[in-house]
Amino acid sequence: MLWYKSWLDTRWRFLFGLVLLFVFACGTVVAYPTVRDLASSVSADLIAGSDDLFQELQESIDIMATFRGYAWSQWFQQNFPSLLTIFAALLGSGSPLVRSGSGALFSLALPVSRDRWIGSRATTGLAELFVLALVPSIAITALAPLVGQQFPLGDALVWGTCAFVGASAFFAIAMFVSTLVNDVWRPLLLTCLAVAAVGAVGLALPEGHGVFTAMAGGNHFADGSLPWVDLLVCAVATAALIYAAAATVARRDF
């Protein structure tokens, strides 16, 4: 029953996110021939006099010379982390006990502990987020033959998992804030502010580090390695925030 209620509370956000991410992933694949032709037609004369701009453009063209590089740069590095973060915040926002803050007495009267309520809510939300992370990633592998290309399933799974681990921290932030207030929008707004703060901190970190860098899987694209430290920090933060959410609900006088 707990799982079912958690599913009912978040199902439309999850289904909307799943459809939207899948459509965007399909669009990324279909756009590859156009982007490839456009990149190959760029002339150096168009950016003459700007060595830095030329170097950055040339690096982008080199990356997109293969479908693997194109998929990583256009989807896993740019669009996917941002979209997944938004839906992580949406899934985590809202009271973990009751829908839209109503029916609290009924929920708390059920013969289950508050910890179980939080546990079922967190597990359901993380499971939904995991599906949101992997399905669009696998879709790129499945749809690549439509444009005459191949995309390794291993890369899709690795980069999708990296995105999930990073986004789970923002899910946990939204869930924790939701234990302090009973509406959806304030946790969502505060989580978005946290996203901006994390992004700003990432700019000050050494190259190759930061939550969003880890979500993009840039290290794996470049040399096959994984950002274990950044992923571990995200996982620990997720666990700590969910534990804090459970402790907050246990202490609240409803």
Pairwise CA distance, residues 4 & 53, whole Å:
53
* Domain-embedded: residue 60: no
Residue 99 has pLDDT above 50, yes or no: no
Q: Which residue has the higher pLDDT, 43 or 196?
A: 196
* Domain-embedded: residue 61: no
Q: Which domain holds residue 94?
A: 2-30+67-251
CB 168 within 8 Å of CB 54: no
Pairwise CA distance, residues 109 & 146, whole Å:
54
* Domain-embedded: residue 152: yes
Pairwise CA distance, residues 217 & 152, whole Å:
14
The structure tokens listed for 92 are: 């985590």
Cite the DSSP H helix spans in 44-113: 51-63, 67-71, 80-92, 104-109
Residue 37 has pLDDT above 90, yes or no: no
Question: Considering only 27-31, 114-118, 153-157, 221-225, which range has the smallest mean pLDDT?
Answer: 114-118
* Domain-embedded: residue 37: no
Residue 97 has pLDDT above 70, yes or no: no
At position 141, the amino acid (one-letter code) is: T
Q: How many domains does the chain have?
A: 1
* Domain-embedded: residue 44: no
**Over residues 225-238, mean pLDDT:** 93
Q: What is the pLDDT of residue 105?
A: 45
* Domain-embedded: residue 42: no
With tokens 């304030």, the residue in question is 186
Residue 113 has pLDDT above 70, yes or no: no
Residue pLDDT, tens place only, 151-178: 999 999 999 999 999 999 999 999 999 8
Could you tell me what percent of the chain has a pLDDT over 90?
A: 50
The shares of helix, strand and coil residues in the chain, as percent rounded to the nearest 5, are 80, 0, 20
Q: What is the pLDDT of residue 203?
A: 82
With both helix axes pointing from N to C terminus, report the angle between 51-63 and 32-40 in degrees, rounded to the nearest 10. Answer: 140
* Domain-embedded: residue 85: yes
- SS3 assignment, position 176: helix
* Domain-embedded: residue 244: yes
At position 194, the amino acid (one-letter code) is: A
CB 75 within 8 Å of CB 23: no
**Over residues 118-147, mean pLDDT:** 94
